[in-house]
Structure 1
Amino acid sequence: MTDNTPTPSGYPENPENPEPGVAGAEKPARRWYQKKRFLIPTGIVLVLLIAGIAGGGRDEDAAPVSADATAQSEETVSAAEASASAAAKSSAEAAAAAEASAEAAAAAEAEAKAQAEAEAKAAEESAAAAKAAEEAKAAEEAAAAEAAAEAGTVSQQNALRAAENYLEFTAFSRPGLIQQLEYEEYSTEDATWAVDRVTVDWNEQAAESAKNYLEFTAFSRQGLIDQLLFEGFTPEQAEYGVSQTGL
């Protein structure tokens, strides 16, 4: 037996099969799942419309934010590039300054070295010139002293003339002639100076003296040699003088 108890809405559970013969019965309304082919498309349209409106609003708000972010990003990049460029320029300038400073220091060092070498050379040349001048002066003074010594003093010139006179009259040995001048009261220095400058051959003087001794007395060879040695002749001069007599 079918239960046709009306639902709370007043319609039987099977609305598609109403009881026949019921006059004035209205066609029951469709359930919600029976209307889905109409409601779902409409809902989708509404959802899409709301999403479009919401999306449009967000795009309008987001566009300025995106532009600001891009501008800020570009500004950051530009600032970074400017900072890097400034750093590179500063580094290049510092390197150039360091190189210029090094070159200047090297040039100054080279100049100082050249100046020191020039000063050393000048000092060396000055010392050499001073030494040459000193040597020239010493040589000049020595020459003048030698000339003066050669000319002799007045006393020395007198002693020289006296020595030459003595040799014209008799024979003398060198020491004997000096002693003769000292006997005449010439100083030993003047007498020696004079005897050293006479033109004489002492060997000939020994021979002349040996001849004179034999004219006055007789001598043996050795005795005559001893006599000549006593007169101040050297052994060689005495030997030569005695040999010239034939002994």
Structure 2
Amino acid sequence: MVKSVSIAAAVALGSILTFGGMAGCSSESSTGDGSAPIESKEDANGGGESSENKKPEGMTPSQEQAYEKALTYLSTTPFSHDGLVKQLEYEQFSTEDAVFAADNCGADWGEQALLKAKQYLSTMPFSQTGLSSQLQFDGFAVEDSDNAAANVGADWTEQATKKAKSYLDTMAFSHSQLVDQLVFDGFTSEQAEAGVVANGL
């Protein structure tokens, strides 16, 4: 039964970590003012406005408000373009203003994907493919997701070991069952085997 839900569980975490059900801004905490929760910046690896970003000229008042809100979000947490649009819509900005803000905020979406990948790995173990899939679920492009997962600097055998431990902390597995589960989660056979052995099984 675990196999059928393991990837979904990781995706569900992304949804929970997002503003009450929307993956795209994980590890969030409530703002306390009724607005969508905003996740905390991850040490020195939080999101941020591009230093080369120039404020667009000729904005309408509503576009300017959406733009400023987008920069505020990006200063605290990494977002995908689509995730940022949805977050702004949650804040009751019109779709047009939300898209305008995301289009003009100056974010490097590849960099945002890498920051989000680091953030996920600080909270739970992933395989490389599982992490890429989660980032895509968050609205990042396939290329940005794959690049982020490939360049996040993770030791995937170590991630497999942590994942195996998390499974063993909740239920019993045989050696082969746990290896199969980790492979299902996207780890290679070698990573899965090493991860299970490292846990003494």
Normalized against structure 1, the TM-score is what? Answer: 0.39
Q: Which of the two has greater helix per residue? A: 1
Q: Which has the higher contact order (CA 8 A, sep 6+)?
A: 2
Structure with the greater alpha carbon radius of gyration: 1
Normalized against structure 2, the TM-score is what? Answer: 0.48
